[in-house]
Amino acid sequence: MQSFYKGKRVFITGHTGFKGSWLCKILSNWGAEVTGYSLTPPTTPNLFDAANIGADIKSVIGDIRDYDSLKKAFDEAKPEIVLHLAAQPIVRDSYKMPAYTYETNVMGTVNILECVRQSDCVKSFLNVTTDKVYENKEWQWGYRENEPLDGFDPYSNSKSCSELVTHSYRNSFFSDGRVAISTTRAGNVIGGGDFANDRIIPDCVRALEKGEDIVVRNPYSTRPYQHVLEPLYAYLMIARAQYEDIKFADYYNVGPDECDCVTTGELVDLFVKYTDGKIKRIDRSEENAVHEANFLKLDCSKLKSVFGWKPHWHVTDAVEKTVEWSQVWLEKGDVRKCMDEQIDEFLSCSI
């Protein structure tokens, strides 16, 4: 796959975020010509600055809601492949800022698709959404791609809307096959360099940094946790496949195997284990908490059957790699080198 992306012009929205930074690192290592369009990094500290990702790509700071600014950057990049990651991604923030969440996640999708629609250079477009797009019925089996889309909270619902916008544009403007259009619905990702608020692994890293215990508010909530490299590899695999043959353009779940869908409490216990018990877990329920799903799994059999794909790392590996990166960062080590080593190790599993 590396040889395919060498020299390809790739446009990434949301490139300064956690997933976007890892994605830029992979593609720059492979020799792609990457242009990123995003707001400034969403947290301090952040992976984009810590790993000096801006040195590897052309970085354009702009708001996905600003169509004119986006179109200018897009036209200058002349991309062949577009990967749309820009979003307001935090469930709890979406309750505080619902209008902003919808503007970013829905109209942001409209804006980037408008750029693609008016382009004559794009061949492959991938919209990255979430496992939370589905109408959650709290059942024990994984959701499939043909299940109803109806996220509950403003974040989840706005990503459901982003899916529907993409479906409409695909049917209305790209039915002639000139651009391959897909969406991917990924499970919860973890990995080195995520400093977001209201995410359990970043909370663990902050607790480790301060030498404090980690407080867990929903220890029994089950989620499909996976290392960040898992969905990124799948995105790049899908984008390449549909670039070469439009028959692969579709809607895909990307998540771990059944054995790696664990509770939040189990995930924290793994983090504690790999830090040699430097912190401990404390469960504490939260009064008047906003609604969050208790049980959520994905059925990824479609991705497996179409591409022969399978996860590279189990959740234990994912947590171990996350702790490894975090300890390098805490010790002020070379996080770029750590990222490169983890990427190389991950890719070696697919050979």
Q: Which residues contact 289 (CB under 8 A, 6 or more apart)?
A: 217
The answer to whether residue 97 scores a pLDDT higher than 80 is yes
The answer to whether residue 284 scores a pLDDT higher than 70 is yes
CA atoms of 39 and 29, how far apart (whole Å): 23
The answer to whether residue 121 scores a pLDDT higher than 70 is yes
Mean pLDDT (whole number) for 270-296: 78
| Global pTM value | 0.95
CA atoms of 81 and 232, how far apart (whole Å): 14
**HEC per residue, the chain:** CHHHHCCCEEEEECCCCHHHHHHHHHHHHCCCEEEEEECCCCCCCCHHHHCCHHHCCEEEECCCCCHHHHHHHHHHHCCCEEEECCCCCCHHHHHHCHHHHHHHHHHHHHHHHHHHHCCCCCCEEEEECCHHHECCCCCCCCECCCCCECCCCHHHHHHHHHHHHHHHHHHHHCCCCCCEEEEEEECCEECCCCCCCCCHHHHHHHHHHHCCCEEECCCCCEEECEECHHHHHHHHHHHHHHHHCHHHCCEEEECCCHHHEEEHHHHHHHHHHHCCCCCCEEECCCCCCCCCCCECCECCHHHHHHHCCCCCCCHHHHHHHHHHHHHHHHCCCCHHHHHHHHHHHHHHCCC
**Structure token pair of residue 155:** 């974040």
Q: What's the mean per-residue pLDDT of the chain?
A: 94
The number of folded domains in the chain is 1
pLDDT of residue 278: 87
pLDDT of residue 314: 95
CA atoms of 245 and 225, how far apart (whole Å): 30
- Domain CATH code at residue 188: 3.40.50.720
CA atoms of 178 and 121, how far apart (whole Å): 10
The answer to whether residue 221 scores a pLDDT higher than 80 is yes
The answer to whether residue 228 scores a pLDDT higher than 80 is yes
Assess if residue 1 is contained within a domain: no
pLDDT of residue 290: 59
Return the higher-pLDDT residue of 199 and 240.
Answer: 240
User: Which residue, 303, 91, 271, is CA-closest to 184?
Assistant: 303
Per residue in 296-323, pLDDT tens? Answer: 889 999 999 999 999 999 999 999 999 9
Tell me the percentage of the chain whose pLDDT exceeds 70: 97
User: How much is the CA Rg of the chain, to the nearest whole Å?
Assistant: 19
Domain of 188 in residue numbering reads as 7-286+294-348
Per residue in 165-198, pLDDT tens? Answer: 999 999 999 999 999 999 999 988 999 999 998 8
pLDDT of residue 140: 80
Assess if residue 2 is contained within a domain: no
Helical axes 335-348 vs 315-330, angle rounded to 10°: 160
The secondary element (H helix, E strand) that includes residue 96 is helix 91-96
pLDDT of residue 141: 87
Mean pLDDT (whole number) for 54-81: 98
Assess if residue 340 is contained within a domain: yes
